[in-house]
Amino acid sequence: MSNTYKQPGEVLSFTAGAAYSSGDLVPFGMRGLGVVQADVASGAEGELHVCGVHALKKTAGTAAVQGAPAYWNATTEAVLMAPAAGAYFLGYFAAAAASAATSCEVILCEFAEEPPRLLTLAATGNQSVAVADLLCGDLTLLVPNTAALSVSLPSVASIPAGARLRVRKTTADAHAVTLDPAGSETIAGGATHASIDANNDVAVFQSTGAAWVLVDSAIA
């Protein structure tokens, strides 16, 4: 065995940012979600299972298909069967679960293993993109806006460098979609980007780790 070997890597130490109970799910940086092994106090060192199959609470109402992607709603603390805004990619269902079931088995995977994410925003009102939406590195937003609206973006420091964001307007209303990066970060060299204002306008941005750069667009 190499003299650089330390451990299998199935359980990793972390410093708890809050008090957690055994079985809670916690993001391990940009790698993936981990399951807390034992109760840990805020500020104390705990341990996370970052792989393996775990029995978790399931959102009732939709059947889980074995091998299908699984997502985690941190608010309801339950597994989802489809991506939703702000939900974390969790892994894949290790076994099927009926629609009425309230528990399921999921094999944990890294955020980078999530398929490209597609979300449709609401037609009105300012909105935001969560860190969880971009951890896979490939997010497409469809915006059916019927009035001008702003979309706040997470800090590029909180998502993988190289992550891509594709934004497409899907209504003929002549109202702009304004993309607003975090803090003093820039997008396409400016404080905001408001050129997406006609049906089927598309712009693609990529994170450099410090800013959003425009890499492609089709603007009417």
Q: Give a yes or no: residue 191 inside a domain.
A: yes
Band of pLDDT at residue 2, cut at 50, 70 and 90: confident
Q: Which residues of the chain form beta strands (DSSP E)?
A: 11-15, 25-28, 32-36, 45-49, 53-57, 69-73, 78-80, 88-93, 103-108, 117-120, 127-128, 138-143, 149-152, 164-169, 177-180, 193-196, 202-207, 212-218
107 & 127 share domain: no
The model's pLDDT over 22-34, given as tens digits with 9 standing for 90+, comes to 999 999 999 999 9
122 and 176 share a domain? Answer: yes
Question: What residues make up the domain containing 129?
Answer: 116-218
CATH of the domain at 162: 2.60.120
Q: Is residue 2 part of a domain?
A: no
CA dist 23 and 153 (Å) reads 30
- Predicted TM-score (pTM) of the model is 0.92
Q: Would 149 be classed as within a structural domain?
A: yes
Q: Is residue 3 part of a domain?
A: no
Phi, psi of 13 (to 5 degrees): -80, 150
pLDDT-based confidence at residue 3 (cuts at 50, 70, 90): confident
